[in-house]
Structure 1
Amino acid sequence: MSLERYSRQTQLKEFGLEAQKKLSTAKVLVIGAGGLGVPALTYLNAMGVGTLGIVDSDVVSLSNLHRQVSYYENEVGEPKVTSLIKKLQAQNSETNLIAHHTFLTTENALELIAQYDLVLDASDNFPTRYLVNDACVILKKPFVYGALHSFEGQVSVFNFQDGPTYRCIFPTMPNPAEIPNCNENGVLGVVPGIIGNLQALEVVKVITGIGEVLSGKFLLFDGLSQNYQKINFKKVAGNDAITQLKDAYEFSCEIGQNSISTQELALLLKSEDLQLIDVRTEAEYDQFHLEESIHIPLADLESKVDTINYSKEIYVICQSGIRSQKAIHLIAAIKPNATLINVEGGINKLNRYALR
């Protein structure tokens, strides 16, 4: 460990050499190499965290670049983990950087998280957050939470020193119709940088013991008013008694919903004439779409619902699998006898090249 490299933080009397040594031996797993993960990883790497694991199975896209500032135009289409680790290695050659080029699933969550001291959750969806929470409760690992919406962000620390868990403030997964996401509503480019760095700060505090950790406190940030607000919440009895993961982590739905994986969709498209409705925006559709798909943006769906053929099964796809579920709820309310099938994970999870 280079003393000169970290001298500007070790000279802080509240931090010192002992805190730096704790960072150097710490192992942190960051789930997601996007808007939150990029700034968090950049600063944790620069500050001297000894081991950083990165879980992500996505590739760089043009729409990432306004907020995921470690990726460049000439890297569009490359795996994020591969691109980011090259830059982190150039930034700090002392760090042990571990790529996990995969999605976090019920099959791998416990094995992956068990290798680390704590988790920084930089994912962008509710199923992953509940999976992270439950795995961390089982393994008794703290995790640092961050989330984004438009001009706003949230930060908290869960499962820290017998403190509240994620389920203490969000007991159950919401209905997909209630969920905003950045594909629909957007996010201002600088906001992920602010929230990701706040998450990194909480990781440093958890590891070193300095300051007051955001356990039992929910930090809300409003970028338009530059306002920070803290909400206190308490531990709910029983939420730390989880002993095994659920078979699946899916959205709560008021209607029964059939679903299909992207792998299954790929096989069907090769052998069957499917009715596949793509409900993404025009810009998303123009950037990439399946030739077999029919484009009806979610915003236009209600007015165009009669253009769909209800004598056939209706497969619905979007960017990440959230808007497609909203579309299915909307269609089902108008056409209750329709056979509707959601494509899980959407375009983000689709093996594009296998379908061309």
Structure 2
Amino acid sequence: MDLPPLVAPAPELTDAELRRYARHLCVPEIGEEGQRRLKNARVLCVGAGGLGSPALLYLAAAGVGTLGIVDDDTVDESNLQRQVIHGQATLGSPKTASAARRIADLNPLVRVVEVRERLTSGNAERILAGWDLVLDGTDNFGTRYLISDACELAGVPHVWGSILRFDGQYSVFWAAHGPTYRDLYPVPPAPGSVPNCAEAGVLGVLPGLLGTAMAVEAVKLVTGAGTTMLGRVSTYDALSARWWEIPLAPAPGRPPVTLLRDVDGDIGEVAAACAAPGEQAAPGDVPSVTAAELAALLAERERGEADFDLVDVREPYEARLAAIPGARLVPLAGFESGEALARFDPSRRVLLHCKAGSRSERALRLLRAAGHADVAHLEGGVLAWIEQVDQGQRPY
């Protein structure tokens, strides 16, 4: 959809800006006026990870005057495979600080605002106040719905992207002129039904494509150049190197957002919040144990006072990085194919775990469907175990 420029032009460019942005100035659709709009723009990026990294780098290079970065995480070694704004020198640093440092080196004319907070319903209105445009570079459904709702309340557009393995999607949402994220996905998926990038993986170069495409949409929205992705969703399959596009319109009868739900990124709570009036999300029936409870059970098993089968449903490489002593490895694929189900004694209790809990929940449901009644999984997975019981291991 063609839209008017989102931002008014700033005063005249300095000589330094004229030199830096010379290749923009000779592009008719941008020119000096468009560059002045970019200089005057305030763009907020939620997430300084795989999608946020290229988007922030290219928006900084393009001359966006003020960039905001919302992220409460720190740089981990596993991030560097795809989060190209960070580097070895900033391992352990807040991602906002690491990104700000790289942006300052790339373009010192850009002002960076760091927001070292997790976006929640309690702070979203405050954090989004005063920004012209929001980029959603997050990786969980709860925060995506929250960003969409907060932008609808604030009356600002937002650019969204999503990646998993070899696949990516992106679009522009703006309630005042077209559809929102809720029109694309009216109800979140069931808890545990969709893995995140940490569990399913992602091709490291894929965020570069999608994050850069998001930055292109941001530049177009700010300057009024071209036709935006509002009302369209683009998908990319890296394995076949093919792009597809589908039209998207506001869902008829969808009520406008009037308040922000206290979802805190939890898919189960989001599902309840999205349910139609009189409709309730199905209650979870997932027996679980905490990390402390598992530690006590393992001690009892060591003393011969308890008997159970502790099963790790992750991949072999993950077990090499971090493990719970006494667990045997049975990857989730064996549960899904049915091949592993026959290897369990129906009379013996089974405790399952994965990295964070979603895969073990999936395995639990499959095992119970096969007739195993006494089965539970570890809340929070290995990450909870390391945080609460075995701090000597390093999270991955």
Does TM-score exceed 0.5, indicating one fold? yes
Which residue number corresponds to residue 194 of structure 1? 209
Q: Residue 330 in 1 paired to residue 358 in 2?
A: no
> What one-letter code is carried by the residue in structure 2 that aligns with 1:135?
A
Relative to 1, partners in 2 of residues 1:160 and 1:281: Cα closer, same or farther, differing over 3 Å?
Answer: same
Q: Residue 318 in 1 paired to residue 355 in 2?
A: yes
SS in 1 for 2:100: helix
Q: Residue 87 in 1 paired to residue 123 in 2?
A: no
Which residue number corresponds to residue 287 of structure 1? 321
State how far apart, in whole Å, the 1-side matches of 2:23 and 2:246 are: 33
Q: Contact 1:28–1:51 (CA<8 Å) still a contact in 2?
A: yes
Quick one: percent identity of the two aligned structures? 37
Q: Which moved more, 1:197-206 or 1:227-236?
A: 227-236
SS in 2 for 1:280: coil
Q: Which moved more, 1:75-84 or 1:17-26?
A: 75-84
> What one-letter code is carried by the residue in structure 2 that aligns with 1:318?
K
Q: Contact 1:153–1:221 (CA<8 Å) still a contact in 2?
A: yes
Equivalent residues, number: 348
State how far apart, in whole Å, the 2-side matches of 1:201 and 1:352 are: 43
Q: Contact 2:364–2:375 (CA<8 Å) still a contact in 1?
A: no
How many Å apart are 1:347 and its aligned residue? 3.1
Q: Contact 1:255–1:329 (CA<8 Å) still a contact in 2?
A: no
1:30-51 CA distance string (max 9 Å, x none): 1111211110000001111111
> What one-letter code is carried by the residue in structure 2 that aligns with 1:326?
R
Q: Residue 49 in 1 paired to residue 67 in 2?
A: no
TM-score, scaled to structure 2: 0.75
Which residue number corresponds to residue 181 of structure 2? 166
Q: Residue 256 in 1 paired to residue 284 in 2?
A: yes
Q: Residue 128 in 1 paired to residue 165 in 2?
A: no
Q: Which one of 370, 376, 380 corresponds to residue 343 of structure 1?
A: 380
Q: Which one of 221, 224, 227 corresponds to residue 242 of structure 2?
A: 227
1:45-83 CA distance string (max 9 Å, x none): 111111111122333333332222233345444432222
In the TM superposition, 1:61-72 aligns within 5 A as 61-72=76-87
State how far apart, in whole Å, the 2-side matches of 1:294 and 1:79 are: 35
Q: Residue 16 in 1 paired to residue 31 in 2?
A: yes
In the TM superposition, 1:123-162 aligns within 5 A as 123-159=138-174, 161-162=176-177
State how far apart, in whole Å, the 2-side matches of 1:291 and 1:26 are: 53
Q: Contact 1:316–1:328 (CA<8 Å) still a contact in 2?
A: no
State how far apart, in whole Å, the 2-side matches of 1:19 and 1:354 are: 54
> What one-letter code is carried by the residue in structure 2 that aligns with 1:169?
L
Q: Contact 1:142–1:157 (CA<8 Å) still a contact in 2?
A: yes
Relative to 1, partners in 2 of residues 1:86 and 1:232: Cα closer, same or farther, differing over 3 Å?
Answer: same
Q: Contact 1:310–1:339 (CA<8 Å) still a contact in 2?
A: no
Q: Contact 1:29–1:118 (CA<8 Å) still a contact in 2?
A: yes
Q: Contact 2:67–2:112 (CA<8 Å) still a contact in 1?
A: yes
> What one-letter code is carried by the residue in structure 2 that aligns with 1:83?
S
In the TM superposition, 1:242-281 aligns within 5 A as 242-248=257-263, 249-251=266-268, 252=271, 256-257=284-285, 268=292, 273=296, 279-281=313-315
> What one-letter code is carried by the residue in structure 1 that aligns with 2:258?
T
Q: Contact 1:30–1:55 (CA<8 Å) still a contact in 2?
A: yes
Q: Contact 1:58–1:348 (CA<8 Å) still a contact in 2?
A: no
Q: Contact 2:361–2:377 (CA<8 Å) still a contact in 1?
A: no
State how far apart, in whole Å, the 2-side matches of 1:135 and 1:351 are: 32
State how far apart, in whole Å, the 2-side matches of 1:21 and 1:309 are: 72
State how far apart, in whole Å, the 1-side matches of 2:252 and 2:385 are: 36
Which residue number corresponds to residue 32 of structure 1? 47
How many Å apart are 1:306 and its aligned residue? 3.8
Q: Contact 1:30–1:119 (CA<8 Å) still a contact in 2?
A: yes
Relative to 1, partners in 2 of residues 1:212 and 1:125: Cα closer, same or farther, differing over 3 Å?
Answer: same
> What one-letter code is carried by the residue in structure 1 that aligns with 2:182?
R
TM-score, scaled to structure 1: 0.83
State how far apart, in whole Å, the 1-side matches of 2:222 and 2:184 are: 24
How many Å apart are 1:130 and its aligned residue? 1.3
How many Å apart are 1:206 and its aligned residue? 1.2
SS in 1 for 2:159: strand
Q: Contact 1:43–1:197 (CA<8 Å) still a contact in 2?
A: yes
Relative to 1, partners in 2 of residues 1:352 and 1:294: Cα closer, same or farther, differing over 3 Å?
Answer: farther
SS in 2 for 1:65: helix
1:6-28 CA distance string (max 9 Å, x none): 12102212112221122112221
Q: Contact 1:134–1:242 (CA<8 Å) still a contact in 2?
A: yes
1:198-224 CA distance string (max 9 Å, x none): 000011111111111101101112223
CA RMSD of aligned residues (A): 3.4
SS in 1 for 2:19: coil
Q: Contact 1:315–1:343 (CA<8 Å) still a contact in 2?
A: no
Gaps of 5+ in 2: 1-13, 272-280, 299-309
Q: Contact 2:287–2:375 (CA<8 Å) still a contact in 1?
A: no
SS in 2 for 1:218: strand
Q: Contact 1:67–1:189 (CA<8 Å) still a contact in 2?
A: yes
